[in-house]
Amino acid sequence: MEIIEKSGYKSLNLMKSSSLSAVTVGSNAREMTSPKPSTKENTKPQEIKLHTQERAAKRALFNHSVATKLYLIERQRKLEDKIQKIIEEEEIRMLRKEMIPRAQLMPLFDRPFFPQRSNRPLTIPREPSFHCMSSKCWGCTDMYNFPHCQAYNPF
């Protein structure tokens, strides 16, 4: 005990460990005297089936379907572009063909043209009345009939 007291803090740790070992020894002694519980059978590990293989197969199938779909879309787009190009080339060919200058057809001389006199009466010319366009006449709607302005004739 004197050694324990002199050593101070370290002695407490040593003392605690020795008391614990005494307790464990005592508990082991009790266990040996009591009847042993029945031993359990060893368990066999179950086969763990991970879904990684299934998921990998499904993912490969999905990737293949996506790649196929993209290939078909690209092929369809190329086909449409090719058809559009053929149509445009045909239109250009037709426009060039139409732009070639050609002579007009010969007129038919079996019915010669004879001009005829018009049935409408001739127009009677009148001198414009610009002098009536003063501030007094802005309300007039008929440009050629100014009864209140015809009296004023500066010419």
- The domain ranges of the chain are 1-31, 71-100
Which pLDDT tens digit goes with each residue over 100-137?
A: 888 888 877 788 778 898 999 999 988 887 766 555 55
Q: What are phi and psi of 17, to 5 degrees?
A: -65, -35
Residue 12 has what pLDDT?
45
Residue 37 has what pLDDT?
74
Contact 4, 16 (CB under 8 A): no
Contact 129, 137 (CB under 8 A): no
Which one-letter amino acid corresponds to residue 136?
A: K
Which residue has better confidence, 153 or 75?
75
Say what the pTM is: 0.35
Q: Which two tokens stand for residue 45?
A: 């590990």
Residue whose entry in the numeric block shows the structure tokens 């007094």 = 136
Percent of the chain with pLDDT over 70: 62
The dihedral formed by the CA atoms of 126, 132, 133 and 135, expressed in degrees to the nearest 10? -170
Residue 38 has what pLDDT?
77
